[in-house]
């Protein structure tokens, strides 16, 4: 390209110079904002604009002074990290392009500094195709008002393509992602385009596995909860990179004193619906969940709700305590694939405590001594509730 430009410069008959583009109007927000990686004193705010601009975020504590963080150069993808924030504090913010206000007001709350502070998360999967059911579930998630959201895959129907991201995710969840961090895992539909890269490129997830990709990762919320997102589209066999990382991550979490461990991924080790149990994920991952006593595993793929009794070594344990358990000796597996896509039938197996074919989300309340899970239908009614208490 440089050689071509040089030869043109020397020509006596230069090409006509194109007229300059008409002056552009102010840049508009094209997607977002979304928040990511919230901590006690920092948060990431990210969005896209329809043309390059110098982005900034103006933010204000409810009763404090305002501040503004600027980018150094014009861009269309804006990623701004606010730091030096106060813990457990509500902040209002708005976006600016080239110093001009470009968004309405948004808000977020920083994480509490108390490592034992209670936490609420919402969980669902198989959500993303812009259906009325997806919006109905999203409205119930908004009412739950969680601190964070986990998604058990199939976030972007049909094939995880770039043009599907807005109708499947950023538009349906726009009133949530501006203040609540979402942590998706990848389903089979998400990875149908470039292995899921379009979705991962649009998010700002933790990168703490060996490959530093966002395909699988973990994060903590204080000492109360450790969350692990796996990519069950990838090989989960013992000795493979993801299995090795999971083994190490679980060992680290246990030695760090994580009170509760939650793992989530798309293909269910235990399901009585259309796809049924994924026996290879059960065989590959189940022994690790048993060894490290993972408390809960959330999955999707089957578009229904199904909760198991606690399971250890593939056997039901402590079923006599249903639905309020104390120190159970097994892992509770929940299929929560009713996030908005067409439903499948729900079935029953020996391991099934409750199942129902219905659009829903999970509301998971985590305290140091107890986790309570409420499954909420898209009409707001409660379809299931259970709890697990730990006495030591
Ligand atoms: Fe699926």
Report the pLDDT value the prediction gives residue 64, as an integer from 0 to 100.
74
Do both 235 and 201 map to the same domain? Answer: yes
CATH number, domain of 127, equals: 3.60.21.10
Report the pLDDT value the prediction gives residue 210, as an integer from 0 to 100.
87
Report the pLDDT value the prediction gives residue 12, as an integer from 0 to 100.
39
How far does the centroid of ligand 1 lie from the alpha carbon of residue 71, in Å? 39
Report the pLDDT value the prediction gives residue 18, as an integer from 0 to 100.
64
Do both 149 and 84 map to the same domain? Answer: no
Report the pLDDT value the prediction gives residue 5, as an integer from 0 to 100.
33
Do both 178 and 63 map to the same domain? Answer: no
Do both 82 and 125 map to the same domain? Answer: no
Q: Measured between alpha carbons, how far apart are the two ends of the chain, in Å?
A: 68
How far does the centroid of ligand 1 lie from the alpha carbon of residue 189, in Å? 6
Final residue in a domain of this structure, among 109, 144, 165: 109
If one counts the domains in the chain, the total is 2
Nearest-10 crossing angle of helices 279-291, 241-255: 30
Do both 149 and 271 map to the same domain? Answer: yes
- 3-state secondary structure (DSSP) of residue 167: helix
Length of the chain: 392
Do both 126 and 103 map to the same domain? Answer: no
Summarised one tens digit per residue, pLDDT across range 118-152 is: 999 999 999 988 999 999 999 999 999 999 999 99
Other beta carbons less than 10 A from residue 290's beta carbon:
16
Considering the domain boundaries, does residue 368 fall inside one? Answer: yes
- Our CA angle for 167, 170, 171, nearest 5°, is 55
CATH number, domain of 66, equals: 2.60.40.10
Report the pLDDT value the prediction gives residue 21, as an integer from 0 to 100.
57
Do both 246 and 103 map to the same domain? Answer: no
How far does the centroid of ligand 1 lie from the alpha carbon of residue 265, in Å? 10
Considering the domain boundaries, does residue 12 fall inside one? Answer: no
Do both 87 and 189 map to the same domain? Answer: no
How far does the centroid of ligand 1 lie from the alpha carbon of residue 299, in Å? 10
How far does the centroid of ligand 1 lie from the alpha carbon of residue 283, in Å? 19
Q: Are 47 and 29 in contact (CB under 8 A)?
A: yes
Do both 104 and 136 map to the same domain? Answer: no
Tell me which residue range forms the domain holding 76. Answer: 29-109
As a whole number of angstroms, the distance between CA 231 and CA 152 comes to: 10
- 3-state secondary structure (DSSP) of residue 314: coil
Report the pLDDT value the prediction gives residue 128, as an integer from 0 to 100.
80
Question: What are the residue ranges in the chain where pLDDT is below 50?
Answer: 1-13, 22-23
How far does the centroid of ligand 1 lie from the alpha carbon of residue 273, in Å? 12
How far does the centroid of ligand 1 lie from the alpha carbon of residue 263, in Å? 17
How far does the centroid of ligand 1 lie from the alpha carbon of residue 153, in Å? 7
């Amino acid at each position: 390209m440089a050689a071509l430009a040089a030869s043109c410069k020397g020509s006596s008959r230069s090409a006509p110079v194109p007229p300059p583009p008409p002056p552009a109007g102010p840049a508009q927000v094209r997607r977002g904002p979304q928040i990511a990686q919230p901590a006690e004193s920092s948060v990431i705010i990210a969005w896209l604009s329809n043309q390059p601009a110098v982005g900034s975020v103006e933010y204000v504590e409810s009763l404090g002074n305002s501040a503004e963080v600027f980018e150094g150069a014009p861009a269309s993808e804006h990623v701004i990290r606010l730091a030096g924030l106060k813990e457990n504090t509500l902040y209002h913010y708005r976006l600016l392009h080239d110093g001009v206000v470009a968004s309405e007001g948004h808000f977020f709350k920083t994480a509490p500094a108390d490592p034992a502070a209670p936490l609420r998360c919402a969980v669902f999967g198989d959500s993303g195709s812009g259906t009325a059911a997806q919006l109905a579930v999203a409205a119930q998630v908004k009412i739950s008002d969680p601190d964070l959201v986990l998604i058990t895959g199939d976030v972007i129907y049909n094939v995880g393509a770039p043009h599907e991201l807005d109708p499947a995710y950023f538009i349906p969840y726009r009133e949530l992602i501006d203040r609540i961090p979402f942590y998706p895992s990848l389903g089979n539909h998400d990875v149908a385009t470039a292995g899921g890269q379009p979705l991962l490129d649009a998010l700002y997830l933790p990168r703490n596995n060996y490959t530093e990709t966002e395909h699988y990762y973990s994060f903590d919320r204080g000492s109360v909860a450790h969350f692990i997102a796996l990519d069950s589209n990838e090989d989960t066999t013992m000795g493979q990179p993801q299995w090795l990382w999971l083994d190490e991550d679980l060992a680290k979490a246990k030695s760090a004193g994580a009170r509760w461990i939650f793992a989530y991924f798309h293909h269910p080790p235990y399901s009585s619906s259309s796809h049924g149990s994924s026996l290879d994920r059960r065989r590959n991952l189940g022994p690790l969940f048993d060894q490290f006593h993972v408390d809960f595993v959330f999955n999707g793929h089957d578009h229904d709700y199904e909760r198991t009794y606690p399971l250890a070594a593939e056997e039901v344990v402590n079923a006599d305590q249903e639905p309020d358990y104390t120190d159970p000796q097994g892992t509770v597996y929940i299929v929560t694939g009713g996030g908005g896509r067409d439903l499948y039938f729900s079935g029953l197996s020996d391991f099934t405590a409750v199942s129902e074919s219905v659009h829903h989300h999970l509301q998971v309340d985590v305290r140091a001594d107890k986790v309570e899970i409420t499954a909420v239908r898209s009409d707001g009614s409660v379809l299931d509730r259970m709890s697990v208490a730990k006495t030591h």
